[in-house]
Amino acid sequence: MKTEINPKETSRAIAFEIWMSSPMPMVTVVKTFDVTRLYRNSKRKGLKFNMLLCWCICRAASSVAEFYTLPENGKLYRYDRIALNTIVNNKNGGLSFCDIPYTNDFQKFNNDYNSITQSAKESCQNILEEEAAIIGTSAVIGTELDCIVNQYTGIYNNPFLSWGKYKKHWFKVVLPISFQFHHVQMDGGHAAKFLEKLQEEIYKF
């Protein structure tokens, strides 16, 4: 559920006052992750690597309160749940957007991910969650990338993670991930906490 809240009654009061009207309120940070465990599980268990990473992203985000608050059209909203958006190539050669609801049940998340993305591919329609705080993602797996920066205008205010193809070394697989967030939603310290938590979730999968 989505509820409008008074920014002055939250910990983001000063940030809202400073950054809500900024023409460039987005911040981008980049961290290289050790994704060896996800890569090996993907190969051994026949699971999609992108799904595994999306699961870990949701797990990490669910423990950071700021992900449940989002600025929109000059107002601040709080949500009671989160979902993750992924982009798929549909059968007509275009792109379709899918919102995957987060659940603590890994098998359900995996099933939802596979069924929703497949439905979007076949129908060529977007499947979107209107009442969840959305975490955007984009995987450009055609090449290895060091960084991706999304649109910086504040039109799209949701947190956004993007990455390219993972890089294989002798005994390790690594992946640089760009994380973009609206400065009203969180500060650098919150972003750092999330990125550290994300690596923890990947390690213990």
Q: Could you state, in chain order, the average pLDDT of each consecutive group of 10 residues for the chain (205 residues)?
A: 96 95 91 97 96 98 97 95 97 96 97 98 96 96 89 81 94 96 96 98 95
Report whether 66 contacts 193 (CB < 8 A). no
The total of other beta-carbon atoms located within 10 Å of residue 111's CB is 12
Residue 24 DSSP one-character state: S
Q: Which residues have a Cβ under 8 Å from the Cβ of 155 and sit 6 or more positions away? A: none
Residue 156 DSSP one-character state: S
Burial class of residue 14, CB neighbours in 10 A (0-12, 13-18, 19+): exposed
Q: Which residue has the tokens 């439905």?
A: 119
Strands 75-79 and 160-163: what pairing? unpaired
CA dist 76 to 25, 65, 84, 96, Å? 14, 14, 20, 28
pLDDT at 154: 64
Domains of the chain as residue ranges with CATH = 25-68+81-204 (3.30.559.10)
* Interatomic CA distance for residues 72 and 58, integer angstroms: 21
Write phi, then psi, for 103 (nearest 5 degrees): -140, 150
pLDDT at 148: 86
The total of other beta-carbon atoms located within 10 Å of residue 136's CB is 19
Residues pairing with 96 in the sheet: 88
The pair of structure tokens assigned to 92 is: 């007509």
